[in-house]
Structure 1
């Protein structure tokens, strides 16, 4: 006979509610609207509605049955995580909106990407690799110093410097009274008054590379980010984007987040003979179905001649040849006689 325990029923209901609900900032982040910090700003600006009402606190919790709107447009649930590499050109602001009316990175992206979030930022005059994602939680994990992802830059700096001076940055320096983390700097080449320097750091504070070079009396006149963690700029041209395969995201970032085991998007195979790589399947004029498919094998009874693709064997059925048994696998002529 079942025992009626109202206290257990209430406790179970509370536990279920705790599992299913989450803070609005986290929901918006996982839905790809903005990072958690930016989502809190959207709430403060009155741009988020829950069940038709504008909310004023980021502590608001929502569940799967709630209707969430951002700028009067309904927001869906968790999206399929995607990540892109983007080569940011010089002159673009890494922001969704610029108070000075300057062109932003997001104004220049292909429309089919939808709403995406940048992983970190690059200054308006900086170039190179910028990671973009539709998953705010992934962006937060990639940016967090605890992950220890390195950011590598190629800097062209005006002024004279030695490798010994650059090596002094490895212990960190004080910028505006705050100590930076280790900065690895390698002098690559010098031409006139300009030097190319490879700089690697793991925190990426605001204008940290430029300020570190200024600490040594250098002025950076070009800065290119060439890698962010395991992701490289590679051969991307300025303004180009390239989606990272989902399997690569799982492999490289699986230790940060629990990615579901989803299949890669299916691509339609090209029709036979419709692609340049399929030319070898096309028939030549007058060619039969089987003619030309396989080169004729050498005939004859020379020392190394093949016999219709079959090894020569003696009447005993054992492999023939001068080194019979010497290099044969175990059990095929290498036993004691």
Structure 2
């Protein structure tokens, strides 16, 4: 049986259409916004094929587009979310008007800054967030305290903080300036506020955190707040896709 006959879970289909992430799709279904063949869904445990009529808020899904990706230099003070109950500013409110609806690949917290990848393809975003891609996330981190490099070296073994296990972290001391130090930190997963929690745990609170790279994509000289699309040829090469496969990889 081919993939078209087997179909896909509805949340994956919505994400692939670039409408939302899989988690958001599940919330939309709970809110009664999604129907299949005229029946309103009450659970995301539904598989659909190309023969099914899927509507969101009464509207059909847009045609699948070529996956696109942008580099964005996130400033501190913005949330990586489409909406905030507290009304705090988000990165999506700062996007240029010509931008299509995009989803972030991973997140940076309110006070973190630097490189954030954005894509029109929710399935691609999810795939690139997985540690199995092998893509390292690299950061420049300013911490408070006189840094003991032996403590940094031990992070390569992983660390448990308040019952949460964090994997290998590579941390290198770049420069010690008085009571503060700048580090280069690399990790493969990036759980919620991982760097801040780990370094606070070993006695070096983070004062500033800047993501400089996500896999092969670099922050480079991108100005704060600037968005720049990654050329399709470069994107296909880095994802291991051909032009013919780029629409079907999901």
**Same fold per superposition (TM over 0.5):** yes
In the TM superposition, residue 52 of structure 1 has moved relative to its aligned partner by 4.2
1:211 paired to 2:169: no
More strand, by proportion: 2
- Unaligned 5+ segments in structure 1 are 1-14, 263-337
Q: Secondary structure at the residue paired with 1:156?
A: strand
CA–CA separation in structure 2 for the residues paired with 1:21 and 1:38: 20
Aligned residues: 246
Distance 1:166 1:114 in 2: 41
Name the residue aligned to 1:57.
43
Give the match for residue 133 of structure 1. 119
On the 8 A contact 1:161/1:216 being kept in 2, the answer is no
CA distance in 1: counterparts of 2:4 and 2:186, whole angstroms: 42
Q: How does 1:158-307 map to 2 (within 5 A)?
A: 158-254=144-240, 260=244
TM-score by length of 1: 0.69
Aligned match for 2:16, one of 12, 17, 30: 30
Any idea what SS the aligned residue of 2:42 has? coil
C-alpha change, 1:72 and 1:164, in structure 2 (3 Å) is same
1:151 lines up with 2:137 in the alignment: yes
Q: Which sits farther off after the overlay, 238-247 or 48-57?
A: 48-57
Are positions 1:81 and 2:67 aligned together? yes
Larger radius of gyration: 1
Unaligned runs of 5+ in 2: none
Indicate how the Cα distance of structure 1 residues 109 and 35 shifts in structure 2: closer, same or farther if over 3 A, else same.
same
SS of match in other structure, 2:84: coil
What is the CA–CA distance in structure 1 between the aligned matches of 2:11 and 2:106, rounded to whole Å?
A: 18
CA-CA distance at 1:216 after TM superposition? 1.9
TM-aligned CA deviation for residue 35 of structure 1: 2.2
Displacement of 1:207 in angstroms is 0.8
SS in 2 for 1:187: strand
**Cα distance in 2 between the residues matched to 1:17 and 1:193:** 58
Compute the displacement of 1:111 (Å). 2.3
Cα 1:17–1:88 change in 2 (3 A) is closer
- Give the root-mean-square deviation of aligned CA atoms: 1.9
Off by >3 Å, runs of 4+ in structure 1: 15-18
Question: Does the aligned pair in 2 maintain the 1:83–1:243 contact within 8 Å?
Answer: yes
Contact 1:20 1:64 in 2 (8 A): no
Q: Specify the alignment match of 1:285 in structure 2.
A: none
SS at match of 1:113: coil
User: CA separation in 2, counterparts of 1:16 and 1:146?
Assistant: 25
SS of 2:98's partner is helix
1:150–1:42 distance in 2 versus 1, CA, 3 Å: same
